[in-house]
Structure 1
C-alpha cells in the first residue's frame, strides 16, 4: 500500500514520554513516513530517537522554535499527500492513522478524538467563542482541529500559507483551521481516530509563558483572520483591561492578569503589526468566503 501520510512529531525535552508516542506509531496498521523535529532537546531525547526501532527521520533544530516553528520547518520536508500533526505526549491507537485517512472524505483536514488516560474525551476539535477564543470542544461540529493530533492535505496547507511559525506555540491550529474555512474548505472530526494525550507535558499549562503565548496568539489570529471590527474590539478590550488593572484593589491572580505580562503581549503585537497586516491581506486574496460569514457561523454555536 502506498504511503500517503507523513506523521510529524515535534519534541522538546521529551525523554519522559516520547517513547510511548514512537511505540504507538510503530504499531500503526497504516504505513506512513515518520518525521521527528527535535527542538534542540538537551535531556537525552536525541539518544532515545537514535536507538528507537522505528528509525524515525530526525531533524534536529539548532534552537527551540516551539511547536509552530517546528511544524513550519517540517512542512518543507513533506512530500506525501497528507501532513499529520502529532504531539510527542500523545499515543494513538493502532488504527488511528487508518481511520483518519479513510474518513477524511472531501474535507481538507480531520481532527482526532483526544482522550485522557481514563478514556474520557479531551477534545474532538476546536470551537470558537464570541470573543474569538479557541477552546477544546467535546461535541461536534467543530470549527477546527486540535493540533495535538490531526491530518491535513499537504497541498492545501501550503496553498493557504502554511503554518504560522512565529506563534511559537498555541493557536497555530486555530489560525490554520480559520484560514482553511476562509478558503472554503471543510474540517471533519473522526471520533474513531483515538489518541491518548497527556496535554501540556512540555509547556506547563498555567505558567506565565503559557498565558503570554495564548493571549498574544489569540490576538494575532484575530488580526489575521477575523472581521476587522471583531479584531479591533478585542485588541481594544485587552488594552483597556490592562490599563485599569493597576487601579483595581483586588485584581485576579491568574498570570494573564499581570500587568507586566499583558504589556509584553501588547508590545509584541505592536512590533508584529506590519507583518500581521501583510499576512491578513494575503489571507484575503486566498479567501473564497467572507470573514463575517465565517465568524457568524461559528461564534454563534
Structure 2
C-alpha cells in the first residue's frame, strides 16, 4: 500500500497458526459471548464450531453471527470428546485450541498461549469464575488416579475448557478418546502426551472467564456417571497396571459395601445403582481399553511408572 506522503509501505499478513475449536450443545444462551471474544483476539486464527445437534436455536445463531465461524453440525450429540475428535481431521493449522462454548477469553489469550508454548505439546490457560476467582491453572493427578483442577504450577495436564495443543502431537498420541463423551478426555490426552515424552506448560497470563457448568450440571447423575466411568477407563488406558487394578477393585468393593454402611454420603456417585452401571460400562469397554493401552505402550517414550511417580504424589496436591 502507499502512504499519504507517497512512500510505499509493505504490510505482511500474519499467518493463522491456530484453529480454535468450540464445541456447543444447546449453547444459544452463551455461545455468542464466546464468539465475540474470539473475534476480538489480537492473534489471527481460525474458528471452528462443532454443533452437537443442538435443538434450541443455536444453529440459527451461529449462521447469523458476524464473525462467520466455520460450523460443522453433527447428526447426534457426540459429547465434548466426540466432537473434538470429529474436529481433529478438519484442522490443518499447527495448533488446535480447545475452548468451551461458555468460556470468554481475554483479547490476548491466544497470543499468550502461542508465545508461551515453546517446544511443549500443550499449554493450559488460567480459568476464572465470573467473579474473578481462580478456577484452574490445569489438571493435577491425585494419588488415587483422579484428574482434578489445580491452582498450582507446574500442572500435570491441561484443562480442556481452554487449552492449546500441537495438532501433530495430538494426532500422534491417538487423538481424543471420543467414546468418553465428556469429562476426563483432557486428563487422558494429557497423560498420553506425558507418556510420549512431551511437556505441558501452564500459562497464567492466558486468562479465560468460564461460566462453569452452563451445559452440564456438576453433581448430576450424568455428571457422576461420566466422571466415574471415564476415570476408571483412563486408568486402564494410561496408568501402571497395578494402579488400575487397585482402583477398580476399590471402586467395586466400596460399591458392594454401600448397602451395609451407615455413613454413606448423600451424593449421586454413592448410589449403588449408578456405581453398578459404571462397573458394567467399564467391563463392556474393557477389550477396547486394553487395545488402546497396547497402542499407547507402543507410542510411549516414558514408562507409566515414571509418569505416575512424578505426578501422582502428595506433592502435586493442592496445599
- Structure 1 position 287 matched with structure 2 position 303: no
Instruction: Count how many residue pairs are aligned between Structure 1 and Structure 2.
Output: 301
**Partner of residue 224, structure 1:** 237
**Partner of residue 203, structure 1:** 216
**Partner of residue 145, structure 1:** 158
- Return the index of the structure with the highest Cα Rg: 2
Give how far 1:250 is off. 4.3
1-side partners of 2:262 and 2:119: how far apart?
54
**Partner of residue 23, structure 1:** 36
- Note the residue ranges of structure 2 that are not aligned, 5 or more in a row: 1-13
- Structure 1 position 278 matched with structure 2 position 301: no
2-side partners of 1:157 and 1:188: how far apart?
15
Q: Deviations over 1:227-264 (max 9, x none)?
A: 00000000000000011111224422100000000000
1-side partners of 2:264 and 2:122: how far apart?
41
**Partner of residue 81, structure 1:** 94
2-side partners of 1:215 and 1:80: how far apart?
34
1:2 aligned counterpart, secondary structure: coil
Q: Which stretch of the first structure deviates more once superposed, 116-125 or 217-226? A: 116-125
- Note the residue ranges of structure 1 that are not aligned, 5 or more in a row: none
Give the aligned CA root-mean-square deviation in angstroms.
0.6
**Partner of residue 250, structure 2:** 237
1-side partners of 2:147 and 2:262: how far apart?
30
Q: 2:25 aligns with which of 4, 9, 12?
A: 12
2-side partners of 1:292 and 1:201: how far apart?
37
**Partner of residue 42, structure 1:** 55
**Partner of residue 105, structure 1:** 118
Q: 1:174 aligns with which of 184, 187, 211?
A: 187
Normalised by the size of structure 1, how large is the TM-score? 0.99
Q: Deviations over 1:192-246 (max 9, x none)?
A: 1100001111110000000000000000000000000000000000000011111
**Partner of residue 247, structure 1:** 260
1:76 aligned counterpart, secondary structure: helix
